[in-house]
Chains A and B, each alone.
Chain A
Amino acid sequence: TQLLEQSPQFLSIQEGENLTVYCNSSSVFSSLQWYRQEPGEGPVLLVTVVTGGEVKKLKRLTFQFGDARKDSSLHITAAQTGDTGLYLCAGWQVSGTYKYIFGTGTRLKVLA
């Protein structure tokens, strides 16, 4: 059973468009991290969200943690080709398995 579901699974958009990626679970997390991974490389940490309802901005990327700390979203404004990659959410469960788990991933392709 995959405990962190990401949607959409794949996304192909034109440069300049906006997009949102979702990370959902029925479990509560003490914090959630977002990573971006480029082909053939390891994931790179983008941000950590900790408090329910928290919003963090990283240039054109906006991350939000759900009020109940069960879900998170990543919004990209005016996507660029450099945003292309696999986006992964991950977090430490505070219920259920009490493990650090990764989401299913969203593969984003931004076309010039």
Chain B
Amino acid sequence: SQTIHQWPATLVQPVGSPLSLECTVEGTSNPNLYWYRQAAGRGLQLLFYSVGIGQISSEVPQNLSASRPQDRQFILSSKKLLLSDSGFYLCAWSVRRASYNEQFFGPGTRLTVL
């Protein structure tokens, strides 16, 4: 069966510090991978998605970046965090070229920027 891992689970960082959030998927190959941010109790905002190694599409211009160094690894980074970067970050995967874009989510990372 497939599983998706995210770490860390929670993170408190000062403004201006760097960020690295990691996501890995097990039990599937060539997945589509996604990074979302969620404001408190609301819908999801897509930040980045990837259809393959080194292929990243950005949905929202901001000080965040993403990389996919391996097929089942997706990393969200920032060189300098802003207060507005606080939120709940979710990684998800879906089957590539599937008929329906059913997505499967990791447990999330709660980021607080102080």
| Contact surface of A with B, Cβ cutoff 8 Å | 2, 4, 30-31, 33, 35, 40-45, 48, 50, 86, 88, 90, 92, 99-105, 107
Contacts and interface: CB of A to CB of B under 8 A. Distances in A.
B105 A92 contact: no
Interface in B21-51: 41-44, 46
Interface stretch (B12-20, B60-68, B72-80, B95-103): B95-103
A45 B104 contact: yes
Interface of B: 41-44, 46, 90, 92, 99-108, 110
A88 B100 contact: no
Contacts of B41: 86, 105, 107
Main secondary structure of the interface of B (DSSP, over half): loop
Contact of B108 (A41, A45, A86, A99): A41
B107 A105 contact: no
Contacts of B106: 42
